[in-house]
Structure 1
């Protein structure tokens, strides 16, 4: 078994599309507009590996809290050069937390967030 994809609902489709593609660096695999739902569905990948399904819906409720509400806590991406990724994001005006070290694995990581406040973690490969 393996993960097929993770679904994310956003409040502003164009802002989130730009974030996940231009800031994070995911590739658009497929984009459709579903008129009957007034909803976009954007399939995003790392290369051709499908990872995130981004949805827009009219007036979705906001996220309850950061990050300890029930449900999805955060998304995490593994990167080879953690400092380079953080520098790249900050160069795109993305706020990033300081790099920390996982006390159990000894690996380094940091958090940022998407336009709707969903925590995004980058973890040292």
Structure 2
């Protein structure tokens, strides 16, 4: 294997309109492309961060739910780098997004905290 980088992360949401608003208007990701696939009654939204393609947001009718919390099996969380964690937490809170208390990583001595997307997917901000 000669992996270069992670190409994207795919997320299936329960409410496309709500999740699109969350990732675009609250977190500030940019839309690269939005496609409605009539044969599947499904949307696919390609999102970028600083020009880099990172998330595919999907909607599927009647998609089953999955346990989603940081210690559940499977994907643990999706983390975003920030330079000012306190300012980022304040901005998230002003947008109605609740965050956990800021913690300190005992190994890297960097600050981080968690919050959730509209479907409860754990998201992290990590101060660099």
TM-score by length of 1: 0.96
Residue 52 of structure 1, aligned match among 45, 52, 55: 55
Aligned to 1:122: 125
- 1:80 matches 2:77: no
Residue 67 of structure 1 and its aligned partner are, at CA, apart by 2.5
Residue 15 of structure 1, aligned match among 13, 18, 23: 18
Is this contact kept in 2: 1:40–1:57, CA < 8 A?
Answer: yes
Is this contact kept in 1: 2:68–2:122, CA < 8 A?
Answer: no
Aligned to 1:70: 73
After TM superposition, the runs of 4+ consecutive aligned structure 1 residues lying more than 4 A away are none
CA RMSD of aligned residues (A): 0.9
Residue 62 of structure 1 and its aligned partner are, at CA, apart by 1.2
Is this contact kept in 2: 1:78–1:123, CA < 8 A?
Answer: yes
5+ long unaligned stretches in structure 2:
none
Structure 1 Cα separation of the partners of residues 95 and 126 of structure 2: 19
Aligned to 2:64: 61
- 1:40 matches 2:71: no
The one-character-per-residue Cα deviations of 1:47-77 (angstroms, maximum 9, x if unpaired) are: 2100000000001111224232321111000
Is the deviation greater in 11-20 or in 63-72?
63-72
